[in-house]
């Protein structure tokens, strides 16, 4: 049986990816900070699909804890076939010269350094076993900056470039690296971005049918289920009425 390791599986895109892999017979290692939400998601999959789930609660920004969680995986859970580096967030929407230092640090530490930590922890095991697929959740925001979002956009540009670098460094192995770059996806993302302001978050998706977490999970699965000689390097997936990070048609 194949194993998928998914970070940020307590909500949104990560939770939808967990469901997609469960539906397709994978067993799952799911991670997040909120133990209760993660457990709820895991229980649903166990009951619905009979999936075996290992829950790991840690903050990807805490390098020591993150490395320990992987190092202490039980022997029977160490063969990981797919790693989905999804945990991430945006905080605030402000001009670059007026932004909040704490928000910047959280975004950089989570989206860039957290993803790197998880890559550093798991990919050497994949190289050793001679198989594996790393799927990073980037964003259309990484293709070009949009107004008031420069730091978040920069972190997602970094995700794209780190994926490209890893693909180069693994070209002499059977491992594959994919970057998925979604546009607007209605999840908890905007509630987090606006520090809990639900009304402001809802406005982000007004007048447009956004993507769902399941739409993104379909793209992740497309890449993961491709024949072994096929490496889907990138997928840019947008809502039909979104054309780029800054062009959205609302009715």
Q: Which of 184, 217, 223, 235 forms a contact with ligand NDP (CB under 6 A)?
A: 184
Cβ neighbours, 10 Å, residue 129: 14
Instruction: Kindly state whether residue 89 participates in binding ligand NDP, applying the rule CB under 6 A.
Output: yes
CA-based torsion, 218, 88, 86, 75: positive or negative: negative
Q: Per CB under 6 A, does 245 bind ligand 8X3?
A: yes
Task: Decide: 10 and 55 in contact? Cβ < 8 Å.
Answer: no
Residue 78, contacted partner among ligand 8X3, ligand NDP, none, CB below 5-8 A by kind: none
Complex with ligand 8X3: residue 123 or 157, whichever CB lies closer: 157
Would you call 152 a catalytic residue per the annotation? yes
37 binds ligand NDP (CB under 6 A): yes
Binding flag, residue 60, ligand NDP (CB under 6 A): yes
* Among 45, 69, 80, 87, interactor with ligand NDP by CB under 6 A: 87
Q: Determine, following the binding rule CB under 6 A, whether residue 187 of this chain makes contact with ligand NDP.
A: yes
Site for ligand 8X3 in 184-213 (CB under 6 A): 184
The listed partner (ligand NDP, ligand 8X3, none) that binds 68, CB under 5 to 8 Å by sort, is none
- Residue 136 interface partner, choices ligand NDP, ligand 8X3, none, CB cut-off 5-8 Å depending on type: none
13 binds ligand NDP (CB under 6 A): yes
In the set 6, 141, 157, 180, which binds ligand 8X3 (CB under 6 A)? 141
What secondary structure does DSSP assign to the chain, as a single string?
--EEEEESTTSHHHHHHHHHHHHTT-EEEEEES-HHHHHHHHHHHHHHH---EEEEE--TT-HHHHHHHHHT--GGG---SEEEE----------GGG--HHHHHHHIIIIIIIHHHHHHHHHHHHHHHT--EEEEE--GGGTS--TT-HHHHHHHHHHHHHHHHHHHHTTTSS-EEEEEEE--B-SSHHHHHTTT-HHHHHHHTTTS--B-HHHHHHHHHHHHTS-TT----EEEE--TTB-SSS-B---
Binding part of the chain for ligand 8X3, among 69-77, 113-121, 138-146, 165-173 by CB under 6 A, reads: 138-146
Dihedral angle over CA of 11, 13, 16, 20, nearest 10: -150
127 or 208, CB closer to ligand 8X3? 208
- Residue 119 binding: pick among ligand 8X3, ligand NDP, none (C-beta 5-8 Å cut-off by kind): none
- Among ligand 8X3, ligand NDP, none, partner that 245 touches (CB below 5 to 8 angstroms by kind): ligand 8X3
- CB nearer to ligand NDP: pick between 105 and 127: 105
The residues annotated as belonging to the active site are 152
């Amino acid at each position: 049986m194949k194993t998928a390791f998914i970070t940020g599986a307590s909500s949104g895109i990560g939770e939808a990816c967990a469901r997609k892999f469960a539906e397709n017979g994978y067993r799952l290692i799911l991670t997040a900070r909120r133990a209760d939400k993660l457990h709820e998601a895991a229980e649903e999959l166990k009951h619905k699909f009979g999936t075996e789930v290992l829950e790991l609660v840690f903050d990807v920004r805490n390098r020591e804890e993150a490395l320990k969680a992987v190092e202490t995986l039980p022997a029977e859970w160490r063969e990981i076939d797919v790693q989905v580096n999804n945990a991430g967030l945006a905080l605030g929407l402000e001009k670059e010269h007026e932004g909040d230092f704490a928000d910047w640090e959280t975004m950089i530490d989570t989206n860039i350094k957290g993803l790197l930590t998880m890559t550093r922890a798991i990919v050497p095991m994949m190289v050793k076993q001679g198989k594996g697929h790393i799927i990073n959740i980037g964003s259309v925001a990484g293709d070009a900056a949009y107004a008031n979002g420069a730091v978040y956009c920069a972190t997602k540009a970094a995700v794209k470039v780190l994926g490209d670098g890893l693909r180069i460094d693994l070209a002499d192995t059977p491992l594959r690296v994919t970057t998925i770059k979604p546009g607007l996806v209605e999840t908890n993302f905007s509630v987090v971005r606006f520090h809990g302001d639900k009304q402001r978050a809802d406005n982000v998706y007004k007048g447009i049918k956004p993507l769902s977490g399941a739409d993104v999970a379909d793209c992740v699965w497309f890449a993961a289920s491709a024949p072994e000689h096929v490496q889907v390097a990138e997928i840019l997936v947008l809502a039909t009425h979104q054309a780029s990070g800054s062009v959205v048609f609302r009715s």
